[in-house]
Chains A and B, each alone.
Chain A
Amino acid sequence: MLKEISRRRFLGTGSAALAGTAIGAFGFDGVEDALAASIRPFKLAQTSETRNTCPYCSVGCGIIMYSKGADKAAGKLGTISFIDGDPDHPTNKGTLCPKGSGLLDFVNAETRTKYPMVRKPGSDKWERVTWDYALDRIARLMKDDRDANFIAKNQDGTTVNRWLSTGFLAASATTNETAWMTYKVVRSTGMLVFDNQARV
C-alpha cells in the first residue's frame, strides 16, 4: 500500500503551496537566471512518499521514504531515492541518528543478498540456485532430520512431541506478522531450539 502524503510540511507559514519544481516562485528577484540555476532544484519534487519505521534500534523512529517512478495504477512502487525522518512522528519529530540518516545506503548496500545461493559441503564457493531448488532441498533436509530425531514420548511415556536436532533463530527486525508466521511454523514442527536476538 502506497501512502501518499501531502507536502504540507514543505513550507513555512505565509508561503504559497508548492507542487513540483517551483523554485521560481520563491522570490529570486534580482538573481540572474544563471545563478538561480546554480541552486540545485529541490530533489524531492516529483517523488512519492511512504511512511515506514527505522529498522535499527527500538526507538522506532518514523521515517519517510521518497520513491521515484512509482505508478500506483500499474502497482509499481518505484525506487527509493531518499529517506529522512518523519516530522509527524511523536518520538523522533523528524530527526534521525547517524544510522537512520544513512538508511538509503542500507537499502542499496553492495553486500545485500540478491539471489538464492548454496554452498555445497566441502566447497569453497557459492552457487546460484533457483528458489524451487533451495526450498525443496531445505524441506527434504528438514524432513530427513525430523523423521530420524523426533521425540514423540519421553522415557516416562509422556507425550512431548519435540524436535531438538534442528533449531531456529528468529530475527530482531522482522515484523510482528513475520514473527507470528515463523512462530506458527516452528512450533507446529515441534522445534524447541528456538530463540531470538533479545539478548545480544
Chain B
Amino acid sequence: MTNSWTDIKNTDLVLIMGGNAAEAHPCGFKWVTEAKANRGAKLIVVDPRYTRSASVADYYAPIRQGTDIAFLLGVIAYLIKNDKIQWEYTRNYTSAPLIVKEGFGYKDGLFTGYDESKRDYDRASWDYEFDEQGFAKVDPTLQHPRCVWNLLKEHVAQYTPETVSRICGTPKEAFLKIAEMIGETSAPDKVMTSMYALGWTQHSKGSQNIRCMAMLQLLLGNMGMMGGGMNALRGHSNIQGLTDLGLMSNLLPGYLTLATDREPDLETYMKTRGFKPMRPGQTSFWQNYKKFFVSFQKSMWGAAATAENQWGYDFLPKLDLPSYDVLRAFELMHQGKMNGYFCQGFNPLMSFPNKNKIRAALGKLKFLVVMDPLQTETARFWENHGEFNPSDPSKVQTEVFELPTTLFAEDEGSLTNSSRWLQWHWPGQDKRFEIRSDVWVVAQIFRRLKALYEKEGGAYPDAMKALTWEYANPDEPSPEELAREINGKVLEDVPDPADPSKKLLEKGKQVPAFAMLRDDGTTSSGNWIYCGCFTDAGNMMARRDNRDPSGLGVYQNWSFSWPANRRVLYNRASADLQGKPWDAKRSPIAWDGSKWSGPDIPDIAPTAKPDQVMPFIMTNEGVGRLFVRNMMKDGPFPVHYEPFESPVANVIAPKVRGNPAARVFKGDMEQFGDAKEFPYAAVTYRLTEHFHYWTKHNQVNAVMQPEFFVEISEELAREKGIQKGGWVRVDSARGFVKAKAVVTKRIKPMTCDGKTVHVVGIPIHWGFIGATKKGFGANSLTPFVGDANIETPEFKAFLVDIRADTGPATS
C-alpha cells in the first residue's frame, strides 16, 4: 500500500476492483465504511461476482475476469476525452511531456521488438529521446507527436465505451457511470483510492493491471494524496515483510537484486544499478544503491566482506535465469531436476496451480521438509485420500519430514502489515509438546550442516563459514538480536566531514536511519528500508502510542513504518509546484518556505525546493511514469490481452493468445483448454469465513463455511439442471473437482462480443485435512502459467465445464 489502512478514511471515492476487501480484509474495510459514514464517500465495486464488498457499495458493475485493462484503459480514454485530468499534476509530476524516441510503435496487440519464438521483446525501442547531457527530452506543451501524452492518447483511443462493453461484458451505461464517478476525482481536492489484491495480480498480465490503475491515479492526481494512492491489500500477515526482506529467488533485502551470470564482478553489477537522474536536478534515490548493497553484505559476512573481495560479492549465488520462482521450481521438480525441498509455513500442494502436477512433482523429490504449526496437505501428499488425493504411498519414494513449529501465540518478533507498519508482538503461551520456533529449527539445520562441512569438507563451504553468527545463544538467536541486525549498526567510527573532531557515527551504535548508510564498509544493515526500526532509542516496532494529533489517521508514533517511518508514500505529490497542498484539510506535508513539514515524514529531501525537485524520487525521471522504458517485459503501456484460457477471442488483437510475453513451460501449453470443450469462465477466490488453507483446521471457522462449493448463476443452473445445494463436478483441462452448488442471483451471465459468458466461482480453502468437510482444492483446475513480469499464477481466469453430479466417491 502506498497509503495506510487508517488513511482510507480520508478518501472521497473507493474503487474496489481486482479485490474484495470486505471479505478478505474486513477490519481494513472498516475504513471504507468510516469514509462512507463520516465523509459521505462513495464506494464502487467492479467484479465478476456481486461480492460482500458489493453488498455495501454505492455502485456495482460486473466485469468478465481478465479484462480489467480494457476497462481501465477505457476509463483513461474517457478522462482524456472529457477533460477529467488533473492537469497541473499530469504536466509536472508525470512523464507526459517526455519524448519517446523514434522507432517505437504498437500494432495489433504487439509493441515493436517482439520475437515470437522467444515469447519475448527486444525492448531497445522502448526509450526516451535523450539530449547531449543524457537527459530525456521534454515538450512541456504536450504538442510533440511522440511525447508520452500523445502516445498514450493514441494508445487508449480504441478503448471506447462500446469496445469496453464488448470485451468486459460490463453494460455500457454502467461503465460510463463509473467513469464519470472516477472522473470527478480529477479535481485537485478530490481523491480516489484504489484497493486491489489478487484479483489483479493473479493474471498472466497482473503487473500491467496494476500499472494501468497507477497511470489512472497519476492522471487524476491521486498519488501521494491522503485518501488516495494504490493500495495493494497483501494477502498474508507478513508477506510484505518477507518480500521486503527479499525472500525471493532474485532479490536481496530492500528490493535490491541478485547478480546474474552476466555480472561477474561488483563493478559490472553496479553499472546497471547506477540510476542516474534522467532530468536535471532530480533525486533518483536509487543512486544510493551501493550504500545499501555494501551495508547488506557487511551484515551477512561481517569482517569477511572486504573492499578487496568486493564486499564478499562471490559469497552470493548468481542467477542464470531471470528467476527461480515457484512455478519454475515445480517445473524443475516435475522434470526430476530437484532433490530436496523445504516448505516453511507453506502448503504448495493446495496453493499452486495444477494440483496433479504439484503432487507428481513432490513425488520426484528425495526429501521434503515441512516446517509448520499445522498438519498440511503438502506434508501428506503421499497419503491416499481417495478422490481428494489419489496417491499410492508405496510408489512415492520421497522422505518426508514434518517439523512442528510455533505459531503467533508462542512467538516473538515483528510482522509488516500492508500499511508497511512493522509491529512487534510477544508470546502469550509456553511452547507445548515438542514444538520449536522457526528460528531454532533453521539455526539448527544450518549449524549441523556447517558442522558436517567443517568435519568432512565439501563443495564451497566458504559462504557458510563467513556468515555472521554473533548471537548470545548460537543455537537459538533471539528475535531482538535479529531485529538489531536487520536495522544495522556502525562498524567503525565515522568522523563528521564538517568537523573532524566530532564523530558522525560512533562504532557499536545502531544505525539511526538509512540516510546514514555508507558504501565503505563502516555500516551494516540487513535491510536498508527497515533501517530505523531498532535504534539506540529502542525497538521502534514496539511503539504503542496511538495518538493522532492531526486526526488524519497518521499515527506517527505507532510502531515503525518503512521507509523512515513514512506513512504516505510519494506524499510530496500532495502539494503543488509552490508546495501548497492541493487540499489543505488533508495534507500530509507542506512547504513552509524553507522546508517540508507536516504530520507525515516528507518523501523528499526536507529542503528540496518544490518547483525544482519533482515528487517521484525513486524514479530516474523524478516523475510518475506513464510510459516505462524497459522495466516491464510485456510493454511500455498496458494492452488488453485475454487470459490464456478465455471464452472469447481478443477483440483488439484476435491473433494473440494470452499475454504474448508470458512464460509458458513445455507441456503446460498443451494443458490449456479451449472454449469448445470448457465453455465457462472460472475464477477462484477467498471467502471471508476462512483464511487460505489454515482456518479449515479451526473448529469455529469450519462451522461458518463447512463445505467446498462452487457458485453459479440461476441461469446456468437451469441450463445444466443443477440444484441449489446439489453436487456438481467441475472439469478443466487439468483436473476436476466435485463440490456443492451455490446457485445465486449474485452471478449473472454476461454478454461479451455477442456471446453469453457464464461465470463459475470457485472458492479456495478446503483440503483433505482439518475440521471442515474434505474438499478438492480449487488448484486442481487452475492453469500453470504466471504473470509475464513476476510469475504470479493465473488463478483468476480460466475455463471449465460443469455438470450435476452425485458427489465424491467414498473411499
Q: Are A51 and B426 in contact (CB under 8 A)?
A: yes
A52 to B397, CA, bound (A): 41
Q: Are B555 and A90 in contact (CB under 8 A)?
A: yes
Q: Which chain A residues numbered 105 to 132 have a C-beta less than 8 Å away from chain B? A: 105-107, 109-124, 126, 131
Q: Interface size class for chain B?
A: 35 or more
Given contacts A59-B418, A180-B526, A187-B316, A119 and B399 within 8 Å (CB-CB) = yes
B81 CB-CB contact with A under 8 Å = no
Task: Encode contact with A along B409-448: 1 for CB under 8 Å, 0 otherwise.
Answer: 1011111111101110111111011111111011111101
| Residues in B neighbouring A85, C-beta threshold 8 A | 27
| Residues in B neighbouring A25, C-beta threshold 8 A | none
Interface stretch among A13-21, A27-35, A37-45, A71-79? A71-79
Task: Encode contact with B along A80-106: 1 for CB under 8 Å, 0 otherwise.
Answer: 100101001111110111111111011
B307 CB-CB contact with A under 8 Å = no
Q: Are B326 and A58 in contact (CB under 8 A)?
A: no
A57 to B686, CA, bound (A): 11
Given contacts A1-B412, A50-B428, A113-B375, A167 and B340 within 8 Å (CB-CB) = yes
* The residue from A95, A114, A118, A200 contacting B27, defined by CB atoms under 8 A apart: A95
A8 CB-CB contact with B under 8 Å = no
Q: Are A59 and B463 in contact (CB under 8 A)?
A: no
| Residues in A neighbouring B346, C-beta threshold 8 A | 169-172, 196-197
A194 CB-CB contact with B under 8 Å = yes
Given contacts A161-B318, A169-B343, A78 and B430 within 8 Å (CB-CB) = yes
B609 CB-CB contact with A under 8 Å = no
Q: Are B367 and A141 in contact (CB under 8 A)?
A: yes
* The residue from A60, A112, A123, A167 contacting B423, defined by CB atoms under 8 A apart: A60
Q: Give the nearest-CB partner of A99 in chain B.
A: B691
A164 CB-CB contact with B under 8 Å = yes
Q: Which chain A residues numbered 148 to 186 have a C-beta less than 8 Å away from chain B? A: 149-150, 152, 154, 156, 158-186
Q: Give the nearest-CB partner of B28 in chain A.
A: A59
Q: Are A140 and B452 in contact (CB under 8 A)?
A: yes
A167 to B407, CA, bound (A): 23
A54 to B444, CA, bound (A): 27
- Total interface residues on A, CB under 8 Å, equals 124
A95 to B328, CA, bound (A): 40
Q: Are A179 and B242 in contact (CB under 8 A)?
A: yes
* The residue from A95, A147, A181, A192 contacting B459, defined by CB atoms under 8 A apart: A147
Q: Give the nearest-CB partner of A162 in chain B.
A: B317
A159 to B429, CA, bound (A): 47
* The residue from B244, B443, B553, B770 contacting A111, defined by CB atoms under 8 A apart: B770
B499 CB-CB contact with A under 8 Å = no
| Residues in B neighbouring A183, C-beta threshold 8 A | 245-247, 253
B485 CB-CB contact with A under 8 Å = yes
B763 CB-CB contact with A under 8 Å = no
Q: Are B460 and A118 in contact (CB under 8 A)?
A: no
Q: Give the nearest-CB partner of A170 in chain B.
A: B247
Q: Give the nearest-CB partner of A102 in chain B.
A: B700
B238 CB-CB contact with A under 8 Å = yes
Q: Give the nearest-CB partner of B764 in chain A.
A: A200
A143 to B249, CA, bound (A): 21
Q: Are A65 and B325 in contact (CB under 8 A)?
A: no
Q: Are B695 and A99 in contact (CB under 8 A)?
A: yes
* The residue from B412, B466, B530, B795 contacting A200, defined by CB atoms under 8 A apart: B795
| Residues in B neighbouring A152, C-beta threshold 8 A | 459-460
State the Cβ distance, B674 to closest chain A Cβ, in Å.
Answer: 25
Q: Are A167 and B483 in contact (CB under 8 A)?
A: no
Task: Encode contact with A along B583-622: 1 for CB under 8 Å, 0 otherwise.
Answer: 0000000000000000000000000000000000000000
Q: Are B235 and A58 in contact (CB under 8 A)?
A: yes
Task: Encode contact with A along B691-705: 1 for CB under 8 Å, 0 otherwise.
Answer: 110110111110010
Most buried by A among B25, B345, B468: B345
B241 CB-CB contact with A under 8 Å = yes
Q: Are B435 and A113 in contact (CB under 8 A)?
A: yes
B348 CB-CB contact with A under 8 Å = yes
Q: Are B546 and A180 in contact (CB under 8 A)?
A: no
A135 CB-CB contact with B under 8 Å = yes
Q: Give the nearest-CB partner of A85 in chain B.
A: B27
| Residues in B neighbouring A134, C-beta threshold 8 A | 401, 403
Q: Are B449 and A142 in contact (CB under 8 A)?
A: yes
| Residues in B neighbouring A76, C-beta threshold 8 A | 430
A6 CB-CB contact with B under 8 Å = no
| Residues in B neighbouring A123, C-beta threshold 8 A | 393
Given contacts A58-B417, A146-B459, A168-B342, A138 and B369 within 8 Å (CB-CB) = yes
* The residue from B374, B395, B409 contacting A52, defined by CB atoms under 8 A apart: B409
A161 to B259, CA, bound (A): 11
B808 CB-CB contact with A under 8 Å = no
Given contacts A160-B317, A172-B236, A198-B248, A188 and B463 within 8 Å (CB-CB) = yes
Q: Are A90 and B553 in contact (CB under 8 A)?
A: yes
State the Cβ distance, B452 to closest chain A Cβ, in Å.
Answer: 5
| Residues in A neighbouring B396, C-beta threshold 8 A | 121-122
* The residue from A90, A117, A172 contacting B558, defined by CB atoms under 8 A apart: A90
Task: Encode contact with A along B211-222: 1 for CB under 8 Å, 0 otherwise.
Answer: 000000000000
Task: Encode contact with A along B751-781: 1 for CB under 8 Å, 0 otherwise.
Answer: 0000000000000000001110000000000
A191 to B319, CA, bound (A): 10
Task: Encode contact with A along B542-568: 1 for CB under 8 Å, 0 otherwise.
Answer: 001010100001010010000000000
B453 CB-CB contact with A under 8 Å = yes
A72 to B651, CA, bound (A): 68
* The residue from B236, B367, B460 contacting A56, defined by CB atoms under 8 A apart: B236
| Residues in A neighbouring B367, C-beta threshold 8 A | 138, 141
B402 CB-CB contact with A under 8 Å = yes
Q: Are A181 and B28 in contact (CB under 8 A)?
A: no
State the Cβ distance, B645 to closest chain A Cβ, in Å.
Answer: 18
Task: Encode contact with A along B315-331: 1 for CB under 8 Å, 0 otherwise.
Answer: 11111100011101100
State the Cβ distance, A115 to closest chain B Cβ, in Å.
Answer: 5
| Residues in A neighbouring B648, C-beta threshold 8 A | none
Q: Are B452 and A187 in contact (CB under 8 A)?
A: no
A146 to B261, CA, bound (A): 20
State the Cβ distance, B324 to closest chain A Cβ, in Å.
Answer: 4
State the Cβ distance, A63 to closest chain B Cβ, in Å.
Answer: 8
Q: Are B339 and A170 in contact (CB under 8 A)?
A: no
| Residues in A neighbouring B435, C-beta threshold 8 A | 112-114
A189 CB-CB contact with B under 8 Å = yes
Most buried by B among A120, A190, A197: A197
B155 CB-CB contact with A under 8 Å = no
Q: Which chain B residues numbered 226 to 284 have a C-beta less than 8 Å away from chain A? A: 233-249, 253, 258, 261, 264
Q: Give the nearest-CB partner of A47 in chain B.
A: B428
| Residues in B neighbouring A62, C-beta threshold 8 A | 423
B5 CB-CB contact with A under 8 Å = yes
Q: Are B314 and A177 in contact (CB under 8 A)?
A: no
A192 to B396, CA, bound (A): 26
Q: Are B433 and A146 in contact (CB under 8 A)?
A: no
Q: Are B344 and A182 in contact (CB under 8 A)?
A: yes
* The residue from B253, B408, B426 contacting A173, defined by CB atoms under 8 A apart: B408
Given contacts A143-B452, A166-B338, A112 and B373 within 8 Å (CB-CB) = yes
A156 to B338, CA, bound (A): 23
A48 to B414, CA, bound (A): 21
* The residue from B399, B417, B456 contacting A60, defined by CB atoms under 8 A apart: B417
Besides A98-B704, A119-B399, A171-B346, 11 other CB < 8 A contacts? A88-B544, A103-B409, A113-B372, A121-B397, A139-B451, A152-B460, A173-B345, A174-B238, A179-B238, A184-B468, A191-B317
Q: List 19 A-B contacts (CB under 8 A).
A: A66-B428, A78-B430, A97-B25, A102-B698, A109-B771, A112-B374, A112-B404, A118-B400, A134-B401, A139-B445, A160-B318, A167-B333, A170-B344, A175-B241, A177-B483, A179-B247, A181-B477, A182-B247, A193-B332
Q: Which residues in A have some Cβ–Cβ distance to B below 8 Å?
A: 1-3, 48, 50-62, 65-67, 76-80, 83, 85, 88-93, 95-103, 105-107, 109-124, 126, 131, 134-143, 145-147, 149-150, 152, 154, 156, 158-200
Q: Closest 9 interchain pairs by CB? A: A60-B417, A175-B413, A171-B345, A172-B236, A65-B428, A50-B428, A58-B234, A166-B340, A113-B404
